[in-house]
Structure formats: structure tokens, C-alpha cells
Chains A and B, each alone.
Chain A
Amino acid sequence: MATVENLPSAQTERPIGFGRLKRKEDARFIRGKGTYLDDIRLPGMVHGAMLRSPYAHARILSIDTSKALAHPNVAAVVTAKDLETLGLAWMPTISYDTQAVLAGDKVRFQGQEVAFVIATDEYSANDALQLIDVEYEPLPAIVNARKALDPDAPLIRDDKAGQRDNLASPTWEAGDQAATDRVFAEADTVVKRDIIYPRCHPAPLETCGMIADFNPETGQLDIYNGNQAPHAHRTVYAHVAGLAEHMIRIKCSDIGGGFGNKVPVYPGYVCAIAGSIVAGVPVKWVENRDENLISTGFARDYVMHSEMCAKNGKITGLRVDVIADHGAFDSTAQPTKFPAGFFHIVCGSYDLEASHVKVKAVYTNKAPGGVAYRCSFRITEAVYLVERMVDALALELKVDPIELRMRSFIAPEQFPYETTTGWTYDSGNYAETMRVAMDIAGYEDLRREQAEKRARGELMGIGVSFFTEGVGAGPRKHMDILGLAMNDGADLRVHPSGKAVVSISAQTQGQSHETTFAQIVAEELGIPPEDVEVRHGDTDRSPYGLGTYGSRSTPVSGAAVAVVSRKVRDKARLIAATMLETRPEDLAWEKGRWYVKGDLEKGAMIEEIAVRAYSGEPMPTGMEGGLDAQVIYDPPNLTYPYGAYIAVVDIDPDTGQVTVRRFIAVDDCGVRINPMVVDGQIHGGLAEGVGIALMEVLTFDEEGNCLNSSFLNYLIPTALECPDFELGETVTPCPHHPLGAKGVGESPNVGSPPAIVNAVIDALHQTHGVDHIDMPCTPARVWAAMQGRPEPPQ
């Protein structure tokens, strides 16, 4: 119903806040004028290069750096011995483990950091790596998580006091085991699957790197680094280096993609910092691509056994038993009190009677990491598992996979809904979203086409997934990283000109914050987005906060910007009341203007109020001058975006090659601030899903050699493998987010792999009896499955 408060005024129309606004950040990028890390050159800067272990597991007998040191352009070679004297040989990880900065006793994965060369230029630094002699005594390696706990398995973490096996964390459980046993006993149908979500890698196009610039005179450490959580990193460096936080400044360059790969602290960073502190000059270190793939934050690597049951054609229970491969050090960047992150969202979008989840984590001779790649802390593995299991159950019940989902969805009236593993979903209308996807796909027609093609010997598959995510970590009562609450700050200052600067603690890696966060201020204050400067990525010029990953920018930082804008608006109301000589409660707001209720002509624009706030004119009693505010936003709950995805694949019956012909994605991420940007995020995540489902994988041979250490073998989809994605939307506003937004960045990566794998199985089930296949669905693996050998990856 229209009220006086939301009637349009006679004033000139104010700019819209939300909507398809072209991006501010494009101006520099389309001209080649972005400033990425390797574009930065400082006077006197020297270059670091890392020597890495060729072995996955070996004792280091000796390291001889003399030849490298004799190279005329080499300034220093740093080894574990040197770092020990600085107390920097080991560093803490985000998961309360320790990780060697440079290996001293043993190397524990292929590609582990062994020595750091500092030279005048990159070419010389690379040359010097070849001049370092390291004597190794190779040890047996463990690359298969299922063998890590064998009694005869070599002990990987003999550095840890009391560590007797390769268990990285004790078994952790969620849900109710007894209740789940009861539900399974009462069920009429049970399916079981062993499902692997293989190790893959975010592989942002720009690799990781850092320039550390320590000033010995002032004790100030300036760090240039593309990273997703600059404030958290600064706190870590302050602890490790024993410096006050205000003596460290992290300036984020433009970031050439992150996807979770640029959340952790890597040994190369510590070496660059140590190198600069010792040498007193700026040290630049930038990874090669192979270093990025073999040593930095990987993703997934979950070996999952699962059982799902149904009664009367509806899903009733779920059992999951997981072995998580954490690599040689537990450095999973996940914030919860739960050792497996958000994995227990594995109940998915379904109204289950009971569920039980068990996860144990192991050490292997592989690189550390684990929650990267557009993933809200293990939600990706959970969604993949449940969506594969629902399809397995549908096969067993001989029911259409969408039909089974429709029968089992949590109903709209059940929200807020508490899952059997303890999550409180706040809102949703799952069936509606599913139907929108079916309409775009033309689901019935697709099934007809499939039947016709099958009759002709052609293989076509239609795959479905329906995901619910929990993103926007997170409420301080539930989660933290190294004791730091997962909150985000926002400072907003409206200048006397009416133009504004908003400083945020989130850090864009392509998410368009400079545009969308300006739109939030525009929406809330009526200041045109082009007049709102979004400042981020510099710890000296932005408020404290935890950064951008886990789809948390809009849910947390976006909320902070909305709330700080409203604070400014409230202050403006008091000032406007003074200006208009009326009481604040007699004023009404519409975009950009406080006006007197019932008298549309009498009002004050935000820029007039700003002038007043800084002027010599009187302010409201007791109020300080200026028009600004700051907040630290603590989200009351996670947000729960969801979506319905449908993939259509064609398979060459002779070669096993899979083509994703169509992909339909209907996302409900709540209110969309900039639909153009949201669509772009979804396109990107879907391409990653195509990659993960069909080609992206990190594999290892028995000795622990990584077989995918370059883009020759770590395959990423090109424009020719990606279909012309078809998007749709439903909008169920998040009830507790100030804008009703939920976050979307990770949804497409989470939701698309199960849809594609389900489509592959759908194509092959009737004709070839295939009821399971593990990713990636390479031509070889699909062909093997068609021969009755659904070989899992090692």
C-alpha cells in the first residue's frame, strides 16, 4: 500500500541504486591500466625464487648453497637454518596446525619449499635455483587418503609431539546416529555409493605473489600482495614477525582472480618478508604456474561413503562417512568450530527425518589446503554428495529425479527450518525455483528428445541438481578465524560536496565491489553511484574485517555498507530537522532527500544536508559536525542462497566424449544489487563447474609426483567447452539481511558439477547400466564406465 513515505516527490528524479549498472573498474582494465602485483616495481627491488622439493616424502640430508651464492647476481639464499635463527622456520596455519616455511628436516609433499633465492633479477634467480645442491633420502609416500591410516603407513608428521599416525583431526560427527539408524531401519529403499570429490585447484589466472618492503630506519613493513583477506593477513604477520599491526601496511594490488586460492598465508610470503627484513630492500616473489598448481591452496579431496534411504517414495534419511585429505599440513582456511567446515549442510534442500555425518581428516604427502575454489567451507562437497545420492535413489525408485526432489523438498511454510544437523535455514520456496528451471529447459520436451535419440543409438543426458548453501560467514557466536570474529567494517563519509567515500574490509578479485557497493550507498542515500568512491584493499585506509571468500562480501560487507548508510541517513534526518525547523519524526525519506510529511516541496537534499553538516551553521543539540559513520557488522545468521540447475549433455557413443550442450541455472540469491554482475558471477562459476565435472583434477602417481603441474595437464575449459549458459531467477529476500541479499559468488560452482555428472549418468544408465561415475568425466573414464568399469580416481 502506498504511504506518504514512499510517494514520489516533485523533485528531480534521483539515480537508481540497484540495477544493471556498468562497472566503474572496467575503465582501467580495458586500457591495460590495472595494477596487478607483478606490475609493481619499487626502487632497489630484488627478486625471489623458490627451490621446491622434487620428492613427495624425503629426508633432507644436506643443502649446499655455495654455488648459488657464488652467482654474481645472487644476494642471498635462505634455508630453514637461516629462518630458525629468526624463529620463522615454522608458521601457524589457520586450522591451528603448523607448517614449515622452508623444509629443514623432511619434505612432505612434492613442491614443498626448500630454499629461497634472492637475486637482482628474475632470470638470475631462476638460474641460481639450479645451482643449489640438496641431498635427499627418499621415503615412501602416501597419496591415497584411504591408505593414510594403514598401520604400516609412514608417519608424515613426525615433527608433531605425540603424533603417532596420520590422523589430522579426530573424527567429528553431526546429526543423530541413533535416530538415523531408526529411520534407515524403517525405510523401504536404501542406496549406497562411494563418491569421490577429487582434488582440484582454483588456478586463478594471476598466480600468487608478494612484494615485501621493510624500512630498517622506521621499522615499517609495507606489503604489496593480492590477497582476499588483507586485515587477517596483517594480524598473522604481526604475530609471526613480532611487529605492531600499525607498523605493517598491506596494500592489495588489483587481483587477477582469487577463488579462495589467495586466502592462505604461503611460505613464499614469509620468505619475501624475512628477505626484506634481512636485506633492507624490497623483495618481490611471484609464483610460476607450476608452483601455483603444486603447492598452493587446492580444493576438495573428499572420499565419501554415503547411504540414503526413502520411505513411501520420499527421502527420509542420510548417512555419510568421509575421509578428508588435508595434505601434509592442515591449513584449511575454515572458520567454524566444526573441523569439516560447513560440510554438515549435506542434508541439502530436503525435509529429512534424520541424518548422521562423520568426518575424519588425514595427512598425506600432498600439498596443504582444502577449502578453496569458490567454496563456502566444504559446502561444495556436501552439495555434490547429496545431489548425487538423490539421483542414485531416484534410479533405484525408478522415479524422475525432479519428481523425487519435489516430493522431498522442505516446504515454504516450514521456514525457518532446522535441519537434522543443526542449521537454521531462514527462507525458501524450492519447488517454485525448480519449476522455473524446468520451464526454461523445456524439461518434458528434453525427455522426449532423449527418448527419440536413444532409439537412434544416440546418447543424451539430462541432469538436475538443487542446492542450498550457507554463506556469509559469519555470526561471531559461531565462528572465527584464529580468534578473529568474521565481521566486516564499513566507514562512510559524505563530504561537503555531497560526494561520498565508503571504505570496506572486503577485497575484490573481480566481484565488482567498486560498482555494487557504490550502488548500495546510492540506494540508501540517493547519492549517484558515480559520486561514491569505494575504497578497499589497503589496511591503512579501510576498516578491520575478514575479507572476501565464502560468498561473504554481500552478506557481511554489503550489509555493513547498508547499515552504515542508514546511520548516515539517520544523522542527516536530525540535521535536516534543524534545517527545516521541524521535528525529526515529522520528516519522511525518499531517495536522497528528507522532506516534511504532507509537504513535498519542503525538504533537504542529502548534499544540502552535507553542506550544513560541515558549515558554520548550528547543528542539532549535542551533535558533532560532519556527515559520516562507521559500523562493524556481525551477521545474525548465515544466508541461504539456493538454486535449481539443469544440464543437458551429449556423449559420443564411440569415444565417450561429453559435450555440455545446454546449461540452465536458476538462482535465488535474494535481492540482486546489480543483476548484470550477478549474472557474470554465475557464468564464471558455471564454467568452473564444467571444468571440475569434465577435466580439472590434480592427480598423483604412487611416488607422489603431481601429474597436473601445468596448464598442459591441468585443463581448464575454454570458450569451446562452455555452452551459452541460460539463466533464470527467483527472488526470496533474506529475512535478516538489511538488503534481503544472500550472496551468489560460489553457488554456480557448488551447484553445477552434480548436475553435469547426473546428466552423464542419465545418458548412460538405460543403455549401459551406468549408475555411478566419479569426476572428472574425461573421455577415457566415461568410456570405461560404458564398459562396466566406473574406475574411480586413485
Chain B
Amino acid sequence: MQTPASFEYERATSVEGAIASLQRLGSGARIIAGGHSLLPMMKLRLANPEHLIDINDLAELSYIREQGDELSIGALTRHVELEKSELLARHFPLFRDAENVIADPVVRNRGTIGGSLCQADAAEDLSAVCSAVKAKAVIRGAGGERVVGMEDFHIGPYVTAVGEGEMLTEVRIPLRPGGGSAHEKVERRAGDWAIAAASAAVWIEGGKIADVGVALGAVGPTTIHLSRAEELLRGKAPSEGLFAQAGEIASADCSPSADGRGPIDYKRHLASVLTTRALSRATARALHQEA
């Protein structure tokens, strides 16, 4: 069986302690939570950290709660908790859409939202989900907290705004009335990474799209924020024709590469289909018309 290379292990007892360790140990240190992205890379010896800081004991990072006009999710919240949370499903049903198709239920018992976002794999579903709902990432370091929008969080493939000596602690999502959301994914088989995925959130006011977020997974080097499509949609009355136009923009604005999951033209096609579907379902949910 493949086995990781040697490393030192420590268990954090507080967020401050974990950050202090990160600072002390430098770039050779990695945080481990669910471990379902990091450990397979370590077994392949693609990741060879010298130190692992285990944050699984930090219960204070595991929660989903309403705080004023925001919904807050602790970084250590596991996929299974995101999937089962009624609070989250009520406000942002796209989380449940996504969680139903992320890896498999056993993996979801361990993997965390923080781990998924920090892995920053372009095919990772929660990155698109968080982008669509305009979430913000709370990053803590020795000097305190900073909050960055998802568009600034994903810097490139496998690279995030979380710097050396910092950790992601929370995801915050603004709560607004009239919202609906959906996540759509095509995969080769249950549990596989997406060939393409689309997340959409809409906020309807007076029959018009007051605001909208659309993001794509697996069709570019990192999560794709569809700002041109959002501009098109904002202020207009929702319709299938409009969503199809948004889909065309999605197809044009993504930058997929060919791989074992499919060629470029197919992925562009899926970007369009899934964007259209996600917008349509998100709108139906906002209007409480979902079939």
C-alpha cells in the first residue's frame, strides 16, 4: 500500500495554538483536518509536509449558525453536516445539491468545508457553491482576522489567499430575502470529480432578478466567476431564454482543458447546459415553484 513520507505530528488545542505552530514551523507545516485531500497526495508523495498540525479537536471551528444578516460556517464543519443542515438547506439549498454529489457518503463523514476550499481544486464543488452565494472567507493569522471575498480567495490552481502562518476559520454568507440557489454537476460516475459543474444563486425582487451569482467548477484552472453572465441577468425578469443566454456566456467565458473526462467543446457545452439548469432551478426555488 502507498504510505506517506515521515513527518512530525502535533495536535492543536486552540486556533491560536495552531496559528502559532504554523508561524513557528514555516512552510514545511500543513494543517490537517479531514485529510481526504491531503493524505492521498502524501501517499503519492506529491505532498511531503514536514509537520502536520491536526485541528480535528477544535470544536469551536465546527458550526453552522445564523449571526445577524449572515450565515456562518466554521471551517471544520464536515460535508455530512453541511448536507444534513436544515438551516443551510432552507437558506441555500445548493449546498445540499452539491453535498449529495461530493465524493461519497463515507468520505463526506470526514472531509471539511475548510479543507475543500483550501485544496482549491478547480473541480471541487464547494468553491463554485461559495462563489455563487457570494461567501466571504475569514482568514486568521497571528495579527488577527481578515475577510476576503471568494473572487479573491482562489488565486490559482491549488493556491488560495491563505498565506503562510494563516488558516481559514470561517465562511460567511450574507443572508438576503428572495433568494434561491442550485448546484448542477455532470460526472462520469457517482463520486467522481465533475466533468463540469455550475452553481447559481438568484435573489428576486418584484419579479426581477435583483442580484445573482453564477460560478463554474472544473472548466478552468480555478473556479470561474461568471461576472458577464451576472451582469446580463441583473435587473431582468427571469426566463428560460435569458438563462440560455447566460449559458452561452458560460460556454464562452470558461477555459476548460481536455482530459480523461472530456474534450474542450464538450465541457464548454456542459458549462452552458448546467448554467442554464442551475439558474432555472435556483429561480424556481426563489419563487417557491420548484417541481
Contacts and interface: CB of A to CB of B under 8 A. Distances in A.
Contact, chains A and B (beta carbon distance below 8 A)? yes
Interface of A: 122-123, 126-127, 130, 286, 288-290, 654-657, 694-695, 699, 707-708, 712-713, 715, 717-718, 720-721, 778-780, 783-784
A718 B189 contact: yes
A718 B107 CA distance: 15
B28 interface: no
B3 A718 contact: no
B188 A779 contact: yes
A654 B273 contact: yes
B186 A708 contact: no
Given A126-B2, A784-B263, 7 more contacts: A712-B193, A718-B189, A721-B189, A778-B188, A779-B266, A780-B261, A783-B262
Interface string B115-135: 000000000000000000000
B190 interface: yes
B262 A779 contact: yes
A713 B123 CA distance: 14
B188 A695 contact: yes
Specify the main secondary structure of chain A where it touches its partner.
loop
A784 B266 contact: yes
Nearest to B263: A780
B5 interface: yes
A694 B188 CA distance: 9
A91 to B, nearest CB: 26
A127 B189 contact: no
B190 A721 contact: yes
A715 B188 contact: yes
Given A718-B191, A780-B262, A784-B266, A127 B186 contact: no
Nearest to A127: B5
Contact of B45 (A130, A707, A779): A130
A286 B190 CA distance: 29
Contacts of B2: 126, 288-290
Nearest to A791: B263
Given A122-B3, A127-B5, A708 B189 contact: no
A764 B43 CA distance: 43
State the 8 A-B residue pairs at the shortest beta-carbon distance, nearest first. A780-B262, A720-B190, A654-B273, A715-B189, A780-B266, A123-B3, A655-B186, A126-B3
A718 B190 contact: yes
A122 B5 CA distance: 12
Interface string B137-167: 0000000000000000000000000000000
B117 to A, nearest CB: 20
A670 to B, nearest CB: 35
A695 B189 contact: yes
B267 to A, nearest CB: 8
7 contacts: A290-B2, A657-B186, A694-B189, A708-B260, A779-B186, A780-B263, A780-B266
A389 B8 CA distance: 61
Interface in B72-100: none
A82 B17 CA distance: 53
Nearest to A655: B186
B157 to A, nearest CB: 17
Nearest to A781: B262
Interface string B186-209: 101111110100000000000000
B36 interface: no
Nearest to B270: A655
B269 interface: yes
B56 to A, nearest CB: 23
Contact of B195 (A127, A713, A780): A780
B1 A122 contact: yes
Contacts of B3: 122-123, 126
Contacts of B1: 122, 286, 288
B164 to A, nearest CB: 26
A74 to B, nearest CB: 15
Contacts of A286: 1
Contact of B192 (A126, A127, A290, A715): A715
A714 to B, nearest CB: 10
A286 B193 CA distance: 28
Interface string B245-282: 00000000000000011110010011001000000000
Residue from B45, B189, B273 whose CB has the most chain A CB atoms within 10 Å: B189
A780 B263 CA distance: 7
B269 A783 contact: yes
Interface in B1-36: 1-3, 5-6
A794 B104 CA distance: 31
Contacts of B6: 127
Contacts of B188: 695, 715, 778-779
A123 B266 CA distance: 42
A789 to B, nearest CB: 9
Nearest to A287: B1
A717 B187 CA distance: 13
Contact of B262 (A694, A707, A778): A778
A717 B189 contact: yes
A288 B266 CA distance: 33
Contacts of B192: 712, 715
Contacts of A783: 262, 266, 269
- Residue of B104, B188, B263 with highest tally of chain A CB at under 10 A: B188
A164 B197 CA distance: 51
A290 B2 CA distance: 9
A286 B104 CA distance: 27
Contacts of A699: 260
Question: Of residues A130, A780, A784, which shows the largest number of chain B Cβ atoms within 10 Å of its Cβ?
Answer: A780
A699 B261 CA distance: 12
A122 B1 CA distance: 8
Contacts of A784: 263, 266
A126 B42 CA distance: 12
B242 to A, nearest CB: 18
Contacts of B262: 778-780, 783
A130 B270 CA distance: 41
Nearest to B6: A127
Contacts of B263: 780, 784
B146 to A, nearest CB: 34
A289 B261 CA distance: 21
Nearest to B259: A707
A283 B86 CA distance: 54
Contacts of A715: 188-189, 192
A127 B266 CA distance: 41
Contacts of A122: 1, 3
Nearest to B258: A780
Contacts of B190: 718, 720-721
B98 to A, nearest CB: 17
Given A123-B3, A715-B192, A780-B195, A655 B260 contact: no
Contacts of A655: 186, 270, 273
A654 B190 CA distance: 18
Nearest to B261: A780
A708 B3 CA distance: 20
Nearest to B2: A288
A780 B189 CA distance: 12
Nearest to B192: A715
A54 to B, nearest CB: 13
B46 to A, nearest CB: 12
A722 to B, nearest CB: 11
A721 B190 CA distance: 8
Contacts of A123: 3
Q: Which of A655, A712, A715 has the largest count of B CB atoms less than 10 A from its CB?
A: A655
Contacts of A695: 188-189
Contacts of A712: 192-193
Contacts of B195: 779-780
A707 B259 CA distance: 9
Contacts of A694: 189
A713 B260 contact: yes
A778 B270 CA distance: 14
A699 to B, nearest CB: 7
> Which of B1, B6, B104, B270 is packed against the most chain A CB atoms within 10 Å?
B1
Nearest to A715: B189
